[in-house]
Amino acid sequence: MPELQLTYALAGLIIGALIGLTGMGGGAFMTPLLILLGVPPVKAVGTDMVYAAVTKIFGSLKHKQQKTIHWTLVKYFALGSVPASLVGVFGIALLESRGFNVNSLLTSLLGVTLIVTAVLLLGRTLLGLDKGDKHRLPAALRRKGWTVFAGAVGGLLVGMTSVGSGTLFIALMILLYKLPAKLMVGTDIAHATILLLVAGAAQASVGHVDWSLALNLMLGSIPGVLIGSHANFKAPEGVVRPVLAVVLLVAGVRLV
């Protein structure tokens, strides 16, 4: 059905632009949207991972060109998130095969976390606590084990629900690290690319990917993420950070 394919491509364009601008919005918006359009939940989760992985490859290349990626942070997040995501994917498949349904509870908890984070971020912005951010990481990153652990928690949730590769890790960076918003977005997209490529491959291996649907989404999302990434580079710091907070808040409300 051509009209339906156009709908998916348009959805990909909008979500892709949001990912490029903020690093967030993929799973938090696309998975519920696909379900609303009639895609079975299991297929929506798996297909979203594959489409988002390809989309974020292009976003990562753009942010690499703009030098808005902190590769050290990407590395330590990925050391925890990648293996944990595999546990999530195969764990949820095992639980579902035995009649359990944990997705609803996990996404609700994640939604509450995102809402709280958004409120904290808006508070920091309104009170001017973010002024003078430097391109540095605090002493917390020197405690590498905690950073890897945070990545593992996030990776587990992503593997189980497809939600959080952008929103959750942006939230972790906001709460744990003092970084400029542009650098957080680029770092998040680069890390999510690695995480989603692995988790998406795992989803494909258990038959949870609709490849035709993924292709339609990519047709819109690839130009969308390039547009959003360019807008992120041009946007003033004071504009990007409130946008991050608003996206977090909306995503959290949608998930609760």
Tokens encoding 152: 């593992």
Between the alpha carbon of residue 88 and those of residues 82, 85, 173, 242, the distances in Å are 10, 5, 22, 31
Residue 251: closest CA among 30, 12, 6, 17: 30
The confidence score (pLDDT) of residue 211 equals 92
d(CA 227, CA 248): 20
Q: Is the pTM of the predicted complex or chain greater than 0.95? A: no
Q: How many whole angstroms separate alpha carbon 155 and alpha carbon 78?
A: 8
Locate tokens 């907070």: which residue? Answer: 245
Q: Tell me, what amino acid is at 71? A: W
| CA pair distance 77, 70, nearest whole angstrom | 11
Q: pLDDT 10s per residue in the chain (256 long)?
A: 444 578 888 888 988 887 777 766 666 678 777 877 888 877 888 898 898 888 889 889 988 998 889 898 999 999 999 999 999 899 888 877 887 776 676 667 667 777 877 777 676 666 554 554 555 565 556 578 888 998 998 899 888 877 777 777 877 787 777 778 788 888 988 999 999 999 999 999 988 899 999 999 888 888 888 888 777 666 665 666 677 777 777 777 776 7
Residue 233: per-residue pLDDT: 65
Q: For residues 52 and 193, give the distance between their C-alpha atoms in angstroms, rounded to a whole number.
A: 8
How far is the C-alpha of 194 from the C-alpha of 171, rounded, in Å?
A: 18
Domains of the chain: total: 1
Q: Which two tokens stand for residue 222?
A: 């690839």
Structure letter (DSSP) for residue 165? T
Per-residue CA distances from 225 to 16, 58, 155, 234 (Å): 4, 7, 22, 14
* Per-residue model confidence (pLDDT) at position 2: 40
pLDDT at 135: 52
- Structural domain boundaries, residue 204: 2-255
pLDDT of residue 139: 58
Confirm if 255 and 108 have CB atoms less than 8 A apart: yes
Distance CA 22, CA 115 (A): 16
